[in-house]
Amino acid sequence: MGTVQLVGKRWENSGLVENRKGCERLKGQAGYIMKPMMLIAVIILLIFLLQSLYSGVGKERIAQKNLDIVSAGTNVLLILANSEQCLAYESPVTYKTQGIILDIEKLDNFDIDSDNREPECARNYEFGWRVDVEQIRRDGSIDNSWDFGIKEFSEGQALNNEIRLWIPVAIKYPKGHSHCPEGCTELGKMNIRLVNGELENLAGFFDWACMMGQMGRMSTLSTELKISQPVVYKPNQNELCVGNSCRPLLCHLLYFDEGINSAGTYELTVNYQAPNKLLVGE
């Protein structure tokens, strides 16, 4: 204790105590400025952090969309080329399906029967697509071609995403075919244009509901859709149009003759009525 007092006296005596008090006062005044500044800096940093996170999430969503469409395109091409319900050649001897080898007869049938619709074996209810198959000659020219799938797609504001992909294929001609009587397998390319947009989403929803109803799996379905262009239903052609693009539907729509006239987000509910009708409610 005695030592402390002695030291205290020495401080008082040297006048340094006054200086210390002065410093503490200055420090206190600086604290009034520094604290709000630090607060502001921390807030700025936090905003920057949040903005970075949100921009990352946004980029991820865009990437996800790209992934989805590439993935869907790949899947459709592979299903078309490998499924016996689609185009894959099935050996009449072994009854085995030979993937990537397209049956010329199935190709001809698709070309005629699926001129403005996607064949059910490779239907995607989020995307619309059209495929063309080209047979290639030795000199690189096109020997023969077939196309099938939907003809019109969402355009302008209604178009969300679009991609074009292709895979090589072999085209099998059986014995006795006029192209090569001895039978042959030619080289070809299968190109796909795959589109995601409001027309595809809306028509996909109606077709999905129709199919579920026909299969007896579900009678009522709802969805929320963003619409940016007027939607028109043409009952005589059983076609749904968004803007200038139209596509046929599987089921006829009831109570949707007026369509949708203004942009916005709509919640649609449909009830299936056998054999091929959908009652639409907004």
Angle at 266 between CA 264 and CA 268, to 5 degrees: 160
Any residues with CB less than 8 A from the CB of 93 and at least 6 apart, and which?
none
- Least distance CB 74 / other proteins (angstroms): 5
Interacting residues with other proteins between 16 and 35 (CB under 8 A): 31, 34-35
41 lies in the site for other proteins, by CB under 8 A = yes
**What does DSSP assign to residue 219?**
S
Interacting residues with other proteins between 242 and 261 (CB under 8 A): none
23, 26, 40, 67: which one binds other proteins (CB under 8 A): 67
Strand 184-197 vs strand 245-248: parallel, antiparallel, or unpaired? unpaired
User: 262-265 contacts: CB < 8 A, separation 24 or more?
Assistant: 262/230, 263/227, 263/228, 263/229, 264/226, 264/227, 265/224, 265/225, 265/226, 265/227
- Cα–Cα distance, 191 to 134 (Å, whole number): 8
The interface mask with other proteins, positions 113-152, x = CB under 8 A, is -----------------------x-x-x------------
- Cα–Cα distance, 28 to 219 (Å, whole number): 74
177 lies in the site for other proteins, by CB under 8 A = no
103, 118, 152, 186: which one binds other proteins (CB under 8 A): 186
> Which residues in this chain contact other proteins in the complex, by CB under 8 A?
31, 34-35, 38, 41-42, 45-46, 48-49, 52-53, 56-57, 59-60, 63-64, 66-67, 70-71, 73-74, 77-78, 81, 98-101, 136, 138, 140, 165-170, 180, 182-189
